[in-house]
Amino acid sequence: MYYYKFKVLFDEVEDFERNIEILATDNFESFHQVLYDSIGLKGHELASFSICDAKWNKKQEITLIDMQDDRESETPDYGDEETFSTSSNIPKFIMKNSILKDFITDPHQLIMYEYDFISPKIFYLELLKIVNAKEDDIFPRCTFSKGILPVQDKQISSSEPENDFMSDFLDEIDEDDLENDFTEDHIWNDSQSEFDSF
């Protein structure tokens, strides 16, 4: 039995690094969970791994849930795959059904881990080494941690006004004035219509 040791980097934080050790027989769902915990991610967002070549080109995608649909079959063929590639052309797999050793083909395998597709955070993983595991070792685990994610912008709650200016403006409007505007000043009758002059 052996395990993989990965280095995890995040471009948006210069000193960010994690070292993750995980058994070769573990699935990608376990990999996702140890990354989620050790990185300090929040929420219950979708995530995916992309198995990459030496130039970080995506070759296979492993998603948390099945994200394929019938529309992928309608994707047009743009010819030269080296100049244009869509995600629908990449083979897709599900994390819980995908074992790491079945996807690791390079002694320095590169993998992208993407969390939250609405506000994406992309982490770059590189396989550092493959090591024989001892019987009493517990996996998966984070063996080195440096740097933290930046604090996310505060989201406006449903109880707070979305626009302070608009809220102040609406507060100043007298409801009676607003009703009068639309019941008296803007009623057109035939005798006053400007169209009578035509």
Q: Are 142 and 20 in contact (CB under 8 A)?
A: yes
Task: Give the per-residue pLDDT at 162.
Answer: 45
Burial of 125 (0-12, 13-18, 19+ CB in 10 A): buried
What are the domain boundaries of the chain?
A: 2-146
Tokens of 172: 């100043």
| Whether residue 194 has pLDDT greater than 80 | no
| Whether residue 11 has pLDDT greater than 60 | yes
Task: State the fold for domain 2-146.
Answer: 3.10.290
Could you report the per-residue pLDDT of 134-189, keeping only the tens digit for each? 999 999 999 999 999 987 654 433 444 445 544 554 455 555 554 555 444 444 45
Report d(CA 129, CA 163) in Å as an integer. Answer: 52
Burial of 195 (0-12, 13-18, 19+ CB in 10 A): exposed
| Whether residue 111 has pLDDT greater than 90 | yes
Closest CA to 143 of 45, 48, 26, 3: 3
